Amino acid sequence: MRLTAGGPHYYALRPDSTVGGEVYERELLARLPAHGIDLELGLPQDHRVERPPPGWRVTVLRSRHPHWTLAPLVYTPYVLRLIRRGRADVLRGHSVRHTGPALLLARALARARVPIVLHHHHLYPRWARLEAAIARRADAVITVSDHSRDELIAAGVPGDRVHVVTEGVERPPPTAGWPDAWPGPGPGLRLLYLGRLEPRKRPDLAVAALRACGVEASLVIAGDGPLAAELGGEGVRLLGRVSEADKWRLYDSADVLLFGSTLEGFGLVIAEAQSRGVPVVAALGTATREALVDGESGLLVPPDAAAFGAAVRELAENGRRAAMSERAREFARRFDWDACAAGVAAVYRELV
């Protein structure tokens, strides 16, 4: 029997997005219909999808993407229509704070029993108490790592309602690479930072590692965000936000990925980089410990310039880096989007 999961959706489901949460939703939603889960999606006007794939029914809402504090006003009427017309077997929230309140409010107003499942990546410290309070009222929460599950349980969400389903990795064919993206003519290490340029992601650590490593190297920073103006300097090239195709070209030319984020639910770029044989230097203390094998496919170090620089020096040795590259490819095989979709579908079916 096929089921329908429905709810509002504020992420832009762009085919070229490299933002972790948007990649997760794009890849998961594309595969759920093959696992018996059809989708009812209420999209803001500025996030519409022109050609929904089979298994999707899209309603374009009257408003544009609202701030999360106004989201219940925009999304609740749509969810009420879903419930009253019987168009959803499961109410699905892709964001605890942005869509969870509208799902809970609409179900209460309709006095319905449709189960609610929320998808969760990590708790933002500023909003942790609020997000935990919303998650506690859902019938199930699907998260992407044991680290995030432990955070939710510590915040008061019943453990039997929290399900871990690991993210996947898309595997496009090998590219010709993009070596010219790195500045300078030298044969040194090609270091890569890829992601949002915001405080929690710590892109500054990538620049600091370049300065502290003491070996010939250059750095590409691919991404956009509020810290863009603070980054750069000799040996650094800022590319801005890159396309999905160019992302894989960068992976195929990089020697080491630098990932200084101190707040992560999983670390999708770590898994992607390893799938292309790129060893990773990542910050200790987050869920990234589940996305690599410390000492084998990458290195987990304290989030400071000296530690990141020392890790880059270690990986400058060709034999060490080659061994890690092979192990990274092997380890990344476990990250599979079809397995992720199957796991999510199983949770939905259990709820119904």
| Residue-wise DSSP of 40-96 | EEEE-GGG--SSPPTTEEEEE-SS-PPPTTTHHHHHHHHHHHHHHTT--SEEEES-H
Give the pLDDT of residue 20.
82
Give the pLDDT of residue 344.
98
This prediction has a pTM of: 0.93
Give the pLDDT of residue 169.
95
Mean per-residue pLDDT of the chain = 95
Tell me which residues of the chain have a pLDDT lower than 50: none
The β-bridge partners of 301 are: 283
The tokens describing 260, both together, are 């200084």
Domains and CATH numbers, the chain: 3-168+336-351 (3.40.50.2000), 179-332 (3.40.50.2000)
Give the pLDDT of residue 228.
93
Give the pLDDT of residue 209.
97
Please count the CA atoms within 13 angstroms of the CA of 276 that sit on its side-chain side.
26
CA distance 41 to 18: 21
Residues 31-86 have pLDDT tens digits of 999 999 999 999 998 888 888 889 999 999 988 888 999 999 999 999 999 999 99
CA distance 321 to 323: 5
